[in-house]
Structure 1
Amino acid sequence: MSDNIKSPRVVAEHVEPAPDVDNDAASIASSENSTTSTEEFEHEPFDTFQFKAVELCEKQWPHLSKDAFTVTRMDGGSYNRVIGVRVDGSWRQTSWLKRQAQMFLRTVCPGVIRKTEIRDYVLRIPRQEHAWVEHEVSILKFLAATNLPVPRIKIFSLSAENPVGSPYMIQPRLPGKPVTEVFLELNTQQRVSFARDLGRALKQMGEVQSPSPGTLNPDSILAGSSDTQLLRLQCPPRNAFRQSEDVSEPSTPQTVYEFFMSQFARQRAYDLTLHRDYLNPWKPFEAIIRHLHTMGHLNHNVYALTHMDLEPRNMLLHVVSPTTASLSAILDWDETVFAPAFTNCRPPFWLWDREVDEDDDDDDDMDEADAHITPNDADRAAVKKAFEEGVGEEYCKWAYMKEYRLARGIAKLAITGFFSNMDYDVAEKIIKEWNEMFPHLKVGGMSDIEEDED
């Protein structure tokens, strides 16, 4: 690990979790009733693809028989097709030679107890052929050295020369279910427990820091280098659906103010290639950031690990007992970057402000303005207090202060750019709220035509 990136180390062996039977049953049931991903992404149907998945498993566990593997179709995400894999490593499934050795061991050492090893995994296969799998792998390998609850990698390949014809990852399956599926079922004690767990995890994320913005260099991590390097943010950012033409360059230290101004310039240059001549959101953003800099709000010149899609759907919640629920894992780190520290501090107000279910759109930014308000309901107030105790004062300052809330929205747009009408709606809300908050520092709109006419 480079001295430039601060990250706590964990000196402990990773223990694969026990199978979550309820989770398996739910996944199997939901997958049997859905063909959406096969149709939407034109994938090979699971009925035939499952045999390729089993063949892949046979190559990875050559000492086991074909009957040792059970594959099940699971609900995947936008970036990856997901298949459940159960591996029965008991002696009945192993090769004849290994069975004989185990039988001999039990004969000469009758005190030895045979351990039946059943492990559950998930096989993740990118939906797009140009997916940046090495980036995903490097992020998870980097995070494995922290205390953060993240999926581990059992096996991975960056080559398509295999039975499934694609790069892939095989990961131990984690206990728990997405928060959106189970949060409504929790009692107050369980919600308090989970909120404190989530707060601690977000605090740990904030402690993984760098003097430079950017993304992890997968080459340095996959090569096993002790010097973790960052690459300059790509513009536009690369993802599984869009491969950036921007050449990756090493990132260098810069102030947060410099970060904003350089990103605005890069994004504007990209916008002009798309002939967005007269719609320029970066011009009012430049004015807002200059004002925030003058006010002293951008003086913390460090960049923290930032999950760009930290929503309830990407968190696994594990009900441990009638009084305890834990954060089993944070998922989908594909778009992770190092960004200004306040960028990752959007408060999870859904914990105490409203109910969360599977139909939540997770994008109601209007509620974020009231996230600092403690609910009158005692149970919800207890949940909010538990989260704040876990996450710490610095996070709360960046989460609740209106100036940082606006800066956070600007930072995310500066990183991702504008690719939908929703992005422009968010920009308009930021500009409108700024002008209402600071009428003496009013900034112009996004349309250069309107400003010229004025």
Structure 2
Amino acid sequence: MESLLVSELNLESPIDVSKSDTSRKDGESDTSTLVYGQEAFETFKDKVPILVRQVLSTTDDQEIEVERMRGGGYNRITAFRVIHKATDENAAREEKYILRVPRWDERPILGDVLLLEFLKKCFKIPVPDTIAYDITDKNVIESPYMIQRFIEGRSLLEGYLELGFKQRCQVAKQLGDVYAALSKIRSQHIGKLGQVGNVESYEPSPVDQYAIHAMEDTSTPQSWPYDDSLLFPRISKILSGIFEYRNSVAVARTPIDDFRSEYNTAFMKVVEEMDQAGLFRDVALSLCHLDFEPRNMLLIAENDRAHISAILDWDSATFAPTFVACKPPSWLWAWNSDDDEDKLQANDEPESPDNQEIKRIFEEAAGPEFARFAYNPAYRLARSLVKLGFFDLRYNEDIKEADAMLEEWAKLKASYSVTEETVPEQSAPVDS
């Protein structure tokens, strides 16, 4: 396909809000108000203590201190402390919490609550504890919310380079264990974990009451009972369905979306060719954290010990082809804060013996499936393809990524001897 000129599409660049909430003093930042249409912090912070007293049943002699924190694209984040004064029987103490308020009204609070409990109870993955939540706006802050216990630690993005070799090895082992655990959380459908039916509350429930809900904007609204059977789904059929749906939406918007229709047609051809090349053979659908980066991990390092105390921001987590979750965390052994880690020569052997050992420890913990999907250039392109299917062509950077993927695959597919022969149906059990 002939590349489309980015300048002709006039797509907007995404708004960078990552630094906005903490770059000014309380009341000075207007990002939440202007970009997200949310209440200004100077008035919002006065409502938080009222909510806390109602939900956590605090008493008047317990002080509540509210602190602004850096938010993200999905949630407004506010910290608060409940301070218990000293009594004759007890010493003074404080409890720390996080209040998460979705930027957008349609954010699935209930699904987030369920997923975090599912991860913590069933797979021992370090995630925040949910103390209270409300999926309605019938409360003092007039918005759905989650209250989570504050987790100690500093951002791994800020602290990793300060770690010694032994500490980095410990972090690599733990991170590899998480990769291995996520790859074993499987489904027969692409989508997000939720509850069966349209419910307004959540109580811990058995797995047979879970459901997979189709991702927004990738298909008509639908859901399926959660099925973690060990059969391989037909990945090509699933991905083709996503691009066919997007194409139908683009065609309906003609001539506005002519360019999207052209790209979606090209993407469907790539899906067909990758399937014929055998890239989707024996591939499961696993739970994927789509923003699995150091900025979303909390680190605790003391003396010669280090560990990840929590993995945050599971808002985008979805069931997807296992290779999607196998983007190499090259920063563990070849830190580079400026480049896309997935585009580095991640399969190159690190120069130093220390980094070679860190890479070995991680890969051993992550397991053979990670090794299969992480470093093959074709699976790097497949990750890009799935990402474009999930999130569509929204910005100029998406167009550039699509052009680069299509161009590289056109050169690479010859090495797979792509023919018109199809791959047999995939129904063999997944190795556990």
Q: What residue in structure 1 maps to residue 96 of structure 2?
A: 120
Residue 29 of structure 2 corresponds to 35
Shift of 1:144: 2.7
Instruction: Tell me the amino acid that sits aligned with residue 258 of structure 1.
Output: K
The answer on 1:77 being equivalent to 2:52 is: no
Provide the C-alpha distance between the structure 2 equivalents of 1:305 and 1:355, rounded to a whole number of angstroms.
Answer: 26
State the AA in 1 paired with 2:329.
P
CA pair 407-29 structure 1, distance change in 2 beyond 3 A? closer
Q: Distance in 2 between matches of 1:63 and 1:217?
A: 31
**1:100-127 CA distances to partner (integer Å, 9 max, x unpaired)?**
xxx7xx7xxxxxxx47553211111122
Q: Are positions 1:414 and 2:395 aligned together? A: no
Instruction: Give 2:289's match in structure 1, choosing from 301, 304, 307.
Output: 307
SS in 2 for 1:166: coil
The normalised TM-score by structure 2 is 0.80
- Cα pair distance change 1:247/1:393, threshold 3 Å: closer
Matching residue of 1:438:
413
**TM-superposed deviation, 1:232:** 4.7
Q: Distance in 2 between matches of 1:381 and 1:425?
A: 33
- CA radius of gyration, larger in: 1
1:410 to 1:230, Cα distance in 2 relative to 1, 3 A: farther
Aligned to 1:388, the other structure's residue is in SS state helix
Which piece of structure 1 moves more, 253-262 or 421-430?
253-262
Q: Map Cα deviations across residues 231-269 of structure 1 (whole Å, 9 max, x no partner).
A: 3523515xxxxxx9x423337884112112212211211
- Structure-1 separation of matches of 2:295 and 2:252: 35
Aligned partner of 2:279 in structure 1 is 297
Say if 2:44 is the partner of 1:62: no
Aligned equivalent of 1:7: none
User: Any idea what the Cα deviations from partners look like across 1:332-384, whole Å, max 9, x if unmatched?
Assistant: 1112111111111111112222244xxx5x645431xx111111122322221
- Aligned AA for 2:319? F
Q: In the TM superposition, what are the counterparts of 1:179-328 in structure 2 within 5 Å? A: 179-219=156-196, 222=202, 224-226=204-206, 227-236=208-217, 246-250=220-224, 254-275=233-254, 276-279=257-260, 280-319=262-301, 321-328=302-309
Residue 178 of structure 2 aligns with an amino acid whose one-letter code is A
User: Structure 1 vs Structure 2: percent identity of aligned residues?
Assistant: 29
What is the SS of the residue equivalent to 2:104? Answer: coil
The one-letter code matched in structure 2 to 1:181 is: E
Q: Are 1:354 and 2:328 matched, yes or no?
A: no
Corresponding residue of 1:129: 105
Aligned residue in 2 for 1:155: 132
* CA distance, structure 1, for counterparts of residue 152 and residue 69 of structure 2: 15
Q: Does the residue aligned with 2:139 lie in a helix, a strand or coil?
A: coil
- 1:8 aligns with none
- Kindly provide the CA deviation profile for residues 23-58 of structure 1, in whole angstroms up to 9, marking residues without a partner as x: xxxxx9866376253454354343332221011111
For the 8 Å contact 1:151–1:172, the answer to whether it is kept is yes
**How far apart, CA to CA, are the structure 1 residues paired with 2:410 and 2:377?**
13
Q: Structure 1 residues 218 and 116 mapped into 2: Cα distance closer, same or farther (>3 Å)?
A: farther
Task: Give the superposition deviation at 1:201.
Answer: 0.8
SS at match of 1:332: coil
Structure 2 match to 1:395 = 370
Q: What is the letter of the counterpart of residue 268 of structure 1? A: N
CA-CA distance at 1:294 after TM superposition: 2.6
Whichever residue aligns with residue 397 of structure 2, its letter is M
- State the match for 1:451 in structure 2: none
Q: Which amino acid aligns with 1:324?
A: R
**Using the alignment, how far apart are the partners of 1:392 and 1:208 within structure 2?**
14
Query: 1:330 corresponds to which residue?
Result: 311
Distance 2:166 2:24 in 1: 32
* Structure 2 SS opposite 1:374: coil
SS at match of 2:258: coil
Residues in 2 aligned to 1:61 and 1:289: alpha-carbon distance in whole angstroms: 51
Distance 1:413 1:88 in 2: 47
Post-superposition CA distance 1:127-159 (Å, at most 9, x none): 233333223223223223221111120111112
Tell me how far 1:271 sits from its aligned partner.
2.2
Aligned-partner Cα distance in 2 for 1:418–1:256: 21
Equivalent in 44, 50, 65 of residue 49 of structure 1: 44
Would you say the 8 A contact 1:64–1:89 is kept in 2? no
- Other-structure match for 1:339: 320
Total equivalences in the alignment: 384
- Once the two structures are superposed, residues 297-349 of structure 1 have per-residue CA deviations (whole angstroms, 9 ceiling, x without a partner) of 21224210011121222121221x23222111111111211111111111111
Partner in structure 1 of residue 16 of structure 2: none
Deviations, residues 184-224 of structure 1 (Å, cap 9, x unaligned): 32222222221221111111111111122222123469254
Cα-to-partner distance string for 1:72-109 (whole Å, 9 max, x where unaligned): 111111221111111234564xxxxxxxxxx7xx7xxx
Q: For residues 392 and 131 of structure 1, what CA distance do their matches in structure 2 show?
A: 34
Shift in Å, 1:410: 1.2
Is 2:330 the counterpart of 1:384? no
2:421 is aligned to none
Given the superposition, is the C-alpha separation of residues 30 and 424 from structure 1 closer, same or farther in structure 2, using an over 3 Å criterion? closer
Provide TM-score, normalisation by structure 1: 0.76
Distance 1:330 1:60 in 2: 25
Letter in 2 for 1:291: E
| Counterpart Cα distance in 2 of 1:265 and 1:44 | 39
Q: Using a 3 Å threshold, how does the CA distance of structure 1 residues 228 and 342 change in structure 2: closer, same or farther?
A: farther
Please give the alpha-carbon distance, in whole angstroms, between the structure 1 residues aligned to 2:32 and 2:362.
Answer: 39
Deviation at 1:426, TM superposition (A): 1.3
Looking at structure 1, the residues matched to 410 and 40 of structure 2 have their Cα atoms a distance apart, in angstroms, of 53
Match of 2:117 among 128, 141, 144: 141
